[in-house]
């Protein structure tokens, strides 16, 4: 399948509390990125997608975002900008070693993230 859903995240006012809530509730392991105020939670079951909890420091409002893998974030955003009722809420940015991201809202106001994996070194 082209452009698979890679992970979803929830932006939280209290990241530590929310990551603890989900980790305990579902028994997920945590991979914490304190400098980015971001935690990835994984089931370890070998199926499904990862869940992440980020902080509002990103400038995003609280709530969920679904991330879709793309080959070119800028090119995909150019197509997004052509559609009526969408809004780019986070311009492309790169996190070293993790990839390039951008976020937009669809015509219904749902947040969708675009994610390009880093180039193999």
Average pLDDT over residues 78-97: 91
All domains of the chain in start order, with CATH: 5-116 (3.10.180.10)
Angle (CA) 45-40-25 rounded to 5° is 60
**Nearest alpha carbon to residue 117 among 1, 4, 37:** 4
Quote the distance between the C-alpha of residue 95 and its chain's center: 12
pLDDT beyond 60 at 121:
no
Q: Give the pLDDT band (50/70/90) at residue 34.
A: confident
What tokens were used for 15? 């990241």
Q: Give the pLDDT band (50/70/90) at residue 83.
A: very high
List the beta strands (DSSP E) in 25-110. Answer: 29-33, 38-42, 50-55, 63-69, 87-95, 99-105
Average pLDDT over residues 26-51: 86
What integer pLDDT is reported at residue 43 of this predicted model?
Answer: 84
Residue 85, Ramachandran bin (φ over 0: left; ψ between -120 and 50: alpha; else beta):
left
Question: Where do we find the tokens 């809420």?
Answer: 89
pLDDT beyond 90 at 35:
no
* Lowest model confidence (mean pLDDT) among 9-23, 46-60, 98-112: 46-60
Contact 113, 100 (CB under 8 A): no
Task: Please tell me the pTM assigned to this model.
Answer: 0.84
- Determine phi and psi for 86, rounding to 5 degrees: -105, 160
| CA distance linking residue 25 with residue 17, whole number of Å | 12
């Amino acid at each position: 399948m082209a452009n698979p859903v890679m992970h979803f995240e929830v932006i939280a006012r209290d990241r530590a509390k929310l990551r603890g809530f989900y980790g305990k509730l579902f028994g997920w392991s945590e991979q914490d990125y304190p400098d980015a105020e971001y935690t990835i939670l994984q089931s370890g079951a070998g199926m499904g997608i990862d869940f992440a909890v980020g902080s509002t420091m990103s400038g995003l409002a609280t709530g969920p975002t679904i991330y879709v893998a793309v080959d070119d974030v800028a090119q995909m955003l150019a197509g997004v900008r052509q559609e009526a009722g969408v809004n780019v809420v986070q311009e492309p940015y790169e996190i070293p070693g993790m990839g390039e991201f951008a976020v937009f809202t669809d015509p219904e106001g749902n947040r969708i993230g675009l994610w390009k994996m880093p180039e193999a070194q």
